[in-house]
Amino acid sequence: MIRFATALLAASALVGAAEARTLSVSPGPDAQERIQTALLDAKPGDIVKLAAGRYELSDGLSLDVDQVTVKGAGPDATILSFKGQKGAGEGLLVTSDRVTLRDFAVEDTRGDGVKSKGSDQISFLNLRVEWTNGPNEKNGAYGVYPVSSTNVLIDKVTVRGASDAGIYVGQSKNIVVKNSRAEFNVAGIEIENSMNADVFDNVATRNTGGILVFDLPNLPQMGGHSTRLFRNKVVQNDTANFAPKGNIVAGVPVGTGIMVMANRNVHVFENEIDGNQSAAVMLVSYTQTFDDKTYNPLPRDIVVRNNRIGKNGYDAKFAGAEILAKELGGVIPPIMWDGVTQHAQNADPVRVRLIDGPVLNLNLAAPGALMSAKPAVVDRLGDAVLAEPKPVSLPKPQADLGA
Amino acid sequence: MRSWIAALAALLCLGAAPGPRPVAQDVVLAETPAPRLADYRLFLDAAGRRPNAGLTPYALNTPLFTDYAEKFRYLYLPPGTKARYRAQGALEFPVGAVLVKTFAYPADLRRPAEDVRYLETRLLIRKANGWIALAYVWNAEQTDAVLKRAGARLDVRFIDAQGQPRQVDYAVPNQNQCKECHQLDKQVAPIGPKAQNLNGDFAYPDGQRNQLAHWTKAGLLAGAPPPGAAPRAARWDDPAEPLEARARAYLDANCAHCHNPRGIASNSGLFLDLGETRRAALGVGKGPVAAGRGAGNLKVSIEPGHPEASILAYRMASTEPGVMMPELGRSMVHEEGLALIEDYIRRMPPQ
């Protein structure tokens, strides 16, 4: 009998260990210590539940336990306010794997909003990250900021006011960004030095630039490639650039719809691109000097097709735009390519298929060599057959979250 | 019968005036961290001033700046064990080793030995499956220190070296923040006790000696070459040493725990460890990546000859979260450290 009871006890203990616990936190005094303690006490499988209300935080929060869900009561109900933040480079930092952050808001962080570094299977769901005073160069750089991560899901996220990019995915692999809204940021959504990203069904509006796909030199992960941008609404990006100088996005002209810089195999299709005063789609090289033998500064293998392109390029704000516009009858064509086809350092062929004309080819001899421009406008440019990257497939538990 | 013998034994022990009980190795190796610092018996007194047997004090040639706090460091090794020498990175410590560091403020920095308030004692413990980092915060009475896993802010006032009153909103890191700095490839790791940083003299009670030589002689360290053959980081504050060596040692101690290819700032591509030789990786002519307003409208980390145009100096001169570097561990500007780095950039030959 005793033995039977012991066995039963042991069995229930095992079940208990496997069961997810919920660690609940409510607003009130010492919110900083209580949330942080929950994030430290959580075990794999646990849920840290943040009740509705406003949490006044004085320092950064961080999570380093695998397989934890941090869940609020909704992006307008559970609010983590970092207005009084005294330290740390971001509001919430995740450094562990298989983490889901969902249903809460992060406001007014001094640096970045929510960051993951080196995480596998990191999911940002139904979050709001916002600087509540609107666009300001004193706002933090990135709203949602996975970096050096793999299997990244960003779904139903809203970011407002980031002084760099609202949604920024850097040096990561296997990325899905969907159903999200980026507004009043310098860059709405930016995919940088990353491989295999699907960015679709998002709205990027009222930013300086809507969606950017970049690659930069001198970084541990370079050679960004294979990004699909589709079914996004990239409209009326009209906020003056408020990025601190020096940052790469400080060079994005106001009214840029989509910009691809120094990246490979980028397919832009079925987007609605309208009301962007500088250009609908810009394909440009990295123009700054760099000391990195492995870096390729040219955009290559680019497809732009089947987008619904409205009125764009009617008051372009990039260097030389005025002269150019005058020459072209007042309007910059929707698709603009710097036309650089070779670079001494890298022999990759430069192939394009730009069929949503008219297309402006600047025919630059080298990155940024504006004086060498031989602008030509054509109905469409390039007929390279470039296979579309396969849809990004996330591990099943993560894909189910976003289903 | 048994209890009678036990009582007698206890009496006999009392009579023999037993020595202090040794460091509690079972507590050191226990799965759950002890709630109080005293539980480890690392110190003989409740105030944590007198180290127990097996603790060796040490110092670093160039330490991390922490808001002008004084630091008292000890190495504890279980009896019969040794650390193993490594030329690069931290020495290899045996299971059961504890690195003990107390952060403290004298009331007046001009009289560092008087009226010293302990704030926190941090432990790095080498468990069987790796290191863990813990912070114990001292009470106002200075009689007890308790585990604080979620961090804390402490109000600290002191008179600085110039005689000015200063106030610090001193931050005790939370356990994850300990790891943000103390990590290599996502595993917790010691930062300070590298051969290069221990290769200097320490004033032991019986005289001044090189620490690597002393540790070897005392049986604490195996495999070390003579100090002259081991790497050595400069003392950042010794004007007799070359400027570049001092600056690089400072950057190594204050930045490179994150800014190295295996650290949490690996994605920045800015690597400031002493072993780095690539100019771009060291920040020369390197544009910011994810610095945001931390770039301060400047274009490169280091513009040779121009500290005022260098993001590195700009971020060291800031106390604003989101701008200042390091992100953790300070809330004041290290004026002397900043002056050193500005001088280093000012005298750097152009590209």
Instruction: Check CB contact under 8 Å for A246 and B291.
Output: yes
Q: From CA A203, how far away is CA A208, in angstroms rounded? A: 14
Residue B150 in contact with partner chain A when CB distance is under 8 A:
yes
Tokens describing residue B142: 């200075």
As a whole number, mean pLDDT of residues A324-343 equals 90
Instruction: Check CB contact under 8 Å for B153 and A163.
Output: no
Q: From CA A223, how far away is CA A295, in angstroms rounded? A: 7
**pLDDT tens, residue by residue, B166-225:** 999 999 999 999 888 899 888 999 999 999 999 999 999 999 999 999 999 999 999 999
Strands B183-184 and B187-188: antiparallel
pLDDT value of residue A14 = 44
As a whole number, mean pLDDT of residues B281-290 equals 91
pLDDT value of residue A1 = 42
Residue B292 in contact with partner chain A when CB distance is under 8 A:
yes
Q: How far apart are the first and last CA of chain A?
A: 48
Asked whether the predicted pLDDT for residue B94 surpasses 70, the reply is yes
Whole-Å CA distances, A121 to A87, B249, B287: 27, 37, 30
Instruction: Check CB contact under 8 Å for B153 and A86.
Output: yes
**pLDDT tens, residue by residue, A117-157:** 999 999 999 999 999 999 998 999 999 999 999 999 999 99
**pLDDT tens, residue by residue, A218-235:** 999 999 999 999 999 999
Q: Which of B177, B297, B321 sits opposite A111 (nearest CB)?
A: B321
pLDDT value of residue B7 = 53
Instruction: Average the pLDDT over each of A61-75, A371-385, B88-102 and give the range with the smallest value.
Output: A371-385
Which sequence spans correspond to the domains of chain A? Answer: 20-130, 167-392
Please provide residue B179's backbone torsions phi and psi, each rounded to the nearest 5 degrees.
-70, -30
Instruction: Check CB contact under 8 Å for A220 and B294.
Output: no
% helix, strand, coil for chain A, step of 5: 10, 40, 50
- State the nearest Cα–Cα gap between A353 and chain B, in angstroms: 30
Q: From CA B267, how far away is CA B345, in angstroms rounded? A: 23
As a whole number, mean pLDDT of residues A163-167 equals 96
Instruction: Check CB contact under 8 Å for B289 and A63.
Output: no
Instruction: Check CB contact under 8 Å for A64 and B179.
Output: yes
pLDDT value of residue A9 = 46
Cβ contact A210:A258 at 8 Å: yes
Whole-Å CA distances, A4 to A1, A9, A18, A57, A266: 5, 9, 21, 50, 63
Residue A163 in contact with partner chain B when CB distance is under 8 A:
yes
**A positions 51-110 inside 8 Å of B (CB):** 58-60, 62-64, 85-89, 93, 95, 109-110
Residue A146 in contact with partner chain B when CB distance is under 8 A:
no
**pLDDT tens, residue by residue, B116-164:** 999 999 999 999 999 999 999 999 999 999 999 999 999 999 999 999 9
Strands B130-138 and B145-147: antiparallel
Instruction: Check CB contact under 8 Å for B176 and A64.
Output: yes
DSSP 8-state secondary structure symbol assigned to residue A297: -
A167 Cβ neighbours under 8 A, 6+ residues apart: A143, A144, A154, A157, A159, A177, A180, A182, A188, A189, A190
Q: From CA A323, how far away is CA A313, in angstroms rounded? A: 13
DSSP 8-state secondary structure symbol assigned to residue A208: S
Residue A116 in contact with partner chain B when CB distance is under 8 A:
no
Q: What single string gives the DSSP state of each residue in B75-103? A: EE--TT--EE--SSSBPBPPTT-EEEEEE
Asked whether the predicted pLDDT for residue B10 surpasses 70, the reply is no
Average pLDDT, chain B: 93
Which residues in chain B are closer than 8 Å to A297, comparing Cβ atoms? none
If phi over 0 gives left and psi between -120 and 50 gives alpha, with beta otherwise, what is residue B90?
beta
Q: How far apart are the first and last CA of chain B?
A: 86
Nearest CA in chain A to B181: A88
Asked whether the predicted pLDDT for residue A266 surpasses 50, the reply is yes
**B positions 173-212 inside 8 Å of A (CB):** 174-177, 179-180, 186
Asked whether the predicted pLDDT for residue B307 surpasses 60, the reply is yes
Tokens describing residue B328: 């953790």
- State the nearest Cα–Cα gap between A25 and chain B, in angstroms: 14
Nearest CA in chain B to A37: B150
> For residue A2, which amino acid is it?
I
- State the nearest Cα–Cα gap between A32 and chain B, in angstroms: 8
**pLDDT tens, residue by residue, A21-80:** 999 999 999 999 999 999 999 999 999 999 999 999 999 999 999 999 999 999 999 999
Residue B149 in contact with partner chain A when CB distance is under 8 A:
yes
B308 Cβ neighbours under 8 A, 6+ residues apart: none
Which residues in chain B are closer than 8 Å to A221, comparing Cβ atoms? 267
Which residues in chain A are closer than 8 Å to B149, comparing Cβ atoms? 36-37, 40
DSSP 8-state secondary structure symbol assigned to residue A52: S
- State the nearest Cα–Cα gap between B125 and chain A, in angstroms: 18
**Centroid of chain to Cα A106:** 17
Residue A29 in contact with partner chain B when CB distance is under 8 A:
no
Nearest CA in chain A to B149: A37
- State the nearest Cα–Cα gap between B297 and chain A, in angstroms: 4
**A positions 252-311 inside 8 Å of B (CB):** 288-292
Among B156, B270, B293, most A C-beta atoms within 10 A, so best to mutate, is B293
Catalogue the E-assigned strands of B20-64: 55-58
Q: From CA B178, how far away is CA B75, in angstroms rounded? A: 18
Asked whether the predicted pLDDT for residue A391 surpasses 90, the reply is yes
pLDDT value of residue A16 = 45
Tokens describing residue A15: 């079940």
Name the helix (H) or strand (E) containing A35.
helix A31-41
A325: pLDDT confidence band, cut at 50, 70 and 90? Answer: confident
Q: Please name the residue that has the structure tokens 């991560």.
A: A149
By C-alpha distance, which of B50, B34, B33, B30 is closest to B42? B50
> CB-side exposure of B308: number of CA atoms within 13 Å?
0
Whole-Å CA distances, B190 to A29, A166, B124, B129: 34, 35, 7, 14
ipTM of the complex, rounded to two decimals: 0.86
pLDDT value of residue A3 = 52
Among B31, B176, B310, B311, most A C-beta atoms within 10 A, so best to mutate, is B176
Question: Which pTM value belongs to this model?
Answer: 0.90
Burial class (CB in 10 A: 0-12, 13-18, 19+), B226: exposed
Residue A168 in contact with partner chain B when CB distance is under 8 A:
yes
Among B272, B289, B299, most A C-beta atoms within 10 A, so best to mutate, is B289
If phi over 0 gives left and psi between -120 and 50 gives alpha, with beta otherwise, what is residue A357?
beta
What is the number of CB-based contacts under 8 A between chain A and chain B? 148
Which sequence spans correspond to the domains of chain B? Answer: 20-233, 235-351
